[in-house]
Chain A
């Protein structure tokens, strides 16, 4: 996003060192070290039970850490109230008072933190696309509408840092696109956004940086662009005769082809696809498809948390696994 490099030079908006939280014998957060740069749109990823929600609850003051340190906008979380409304948060599913209207709920919630003008509330309702439902009781809202209202309350009054826990949960494709667009817009306007999500494609499309948490520790953290690579790391071809294609390509220098099925082969690295196509056609191999293959955040995530990529992702990502998490700074390599 524009201005990111400039923003990165500032103090981190979230910084945790050795953050720990136990629930009985379970270490939900286990020495978590996390740095969220100023101005980033930061994705916080991890499987269920990895410690994402507990970390967010600590950052928002809902849960007290047992050890370590957590700073939000440079202030320890224990003194977060001194930040006032500089931090907005939506933690897990939004829960409103169902007998109140959307507008009344926002007025009630904001009244506790200094209040907001009616114009600010109206403007935020418009931002999240709920102007038409502002005077309807929340009890009749759909899940998606509640989710948007939850984001609206987090935006009031306009914070510097927005913390969102699964903001896209339960949204339909149209709602997902709207939330994605809204987050991009807020980020471009200078807001730092920290969001956890299970929707890896959404994170990939939305975020500038990500951290992967597992077992209560950050096991990888880095820039999404670095992680995925600027260029497509391979090419997939669909041909009528894979064995003939392999024989044809084998002598060509710099081309490392591998069969992926009866009609599919994958060429690793950067190649001159027109030259490859010409060679195959000259050899009588019919080529019906040539597709550049890029790595997805899902495949990177799966590798990071030590799980096999799904079949489709494996096909997309095959031949590029040597990249692994090369784009990430490994903060917890001993656990990965």
Chain B
């Protein structure tokens, strides 16, 4: 617990951590601002034209929270995790503080587990912060109401169901981002430079995403991490395909555990020469 407290204390005292929360707030603020000025011309009209007449509000606090989640989890949050978590080991290795830490009588596995837990804490808090900002700003500007989801059709959830589905979606988003954090921490344990760790993390996600779109690699697509990072979308439909959700959750948990175990082995065995 002392190691975890220590890691959390370091993580939440770093400027980059608070800057990342600022960036999230800015993004959600922009989404809210844009929605406020464009609410009469939202995708509902673009997608369905004159086929529907939507009575009542389409833009609500839940709507903003959902849009923010969809937008942020594609690039922004993985990028922020790459930058923040990438420095947890490689950054300390570069500055020499890891040398000082590990020259003290402390078990390396405890330090690594603490760093993993801190990285997951960050992934969860930054993801939930999106929801908090979305609901807060959305409530402030648009008020409460139904959750309108535009994904291959139009789905409208009543506020109570919508809130529950958003909770599921954010929970799954947290798991997905924890997997990204575990992979990033593994890279951070391997390299000496935090920017290299961050770059490799982003690059691996991009390459995985590109590979997944190539027909030649169709057979491996289901096994790629990026194929499951949007699992939160699966619960924003009327009838949830449980098998698909369970499959994605299993993959995400698998990536998380495997990356954590490899990071542990690397961290235990690697010489501290910086």
Task: Report A's interface with B, CB cutoff 8 A.
Answer: 23, 57, 60-64, 80-81, 83-85, 87, 89-97, 99-100, 108-109, 111-113, 115, 150, 153
Known pairs A80-B105, A97-B10; A91 contacts B2 (CB<8 A)? no
Give the CA-CA distance A281 to B37 in the complex, in Å: 107
Are B271 and A97 neighbours in the complex by a CB distance under 8 Å?
A: no
B residues less than 8 Å from A63 (CB atoms): 271-273
CB-based nearest B residue for A60: B103
Closest partner residue, chain B, to A94 (CB atom)? B100
- CB-based contact B103/A89 at 8 Å: yes
Q: Identify 15 new A-B residue pairs, CB closer than 8 A, beyond the known A89-B104, A111-B2.
A: A62-B272, A64-B271, A80-B105, A87-B105, A91-B103, A94-B96, A95-B95, A95-B96, A95-B97, A96-B100, A108-B10, A109-B101, A112-B106, A113-B106, A150-B100
A61 and B102 form a contact (CB under 8 A) = yes
CB pair B99–A84 under 8 Å, yes or no, is no
Verify B105–A92 contact, CB threshold 8 A.
no
Interface set, chain B 254-274, CB cutoff 8 A to A? 269, 271-273
Does B125 lie at the interface of the complex (its beta carbon under 8 Å from any beta carbon of A)?
Answer: no
> Residues on B close to A: CB < 8 A?
2-3, 5-6, 9-10, 13-15, 95-97, 99-107, 110-111, 269, 271-273
Q: B105–A115 contact, CB under 8 A?
A: no
Q: Is the CB of A97 within 8 A of B102?
A: no
A111: contacting residue among B6, B14, B97, B272, CB under 8 A = B6
> Helix, strand, loop or mixed for chain B's interface?
helix
The 5 closest A-B pairs by CB, nearest first: A95-B96, A62-B272, A112-B106, A63-B271, A60-B103
What are 12 pairs between A and B in contact, CB < 8 Å?
A62-B103, A63-B271, A63-B273, A81-B105, A84-B105, A93-B96, A99-B15, A108-B9, A112-B106, A113-B106, A115-B2, A153-B104
Q: Tell me whether A97 and B272 are in contact (CB under 8 A).
A: no
How far is A196 from B206 in the complex, measured between Cα atoms in Å? 47
A106 to B197, CA, bound (A): 28
B101 A112 Cβ-Cβ under 8 A = yes
B182 → chain A closest CB, angstroms: 22
Give the shortest distance, in Å, between B110 (CB) and chain A (any CB).
8
Known contacts A62-B103, A115-B2; is-contact A92 B14 (Cβ 8 Å): no
Which of B2, B10, B105 lies in contact with A83, CB distance below 8 A?
B105
Chain A residues, Cβ within 8 Å of B272: 57, 62-63
Establish whether residues B3 and A112, one from each chain, have CB atoms under 8 Å apart when the complex forms. yes
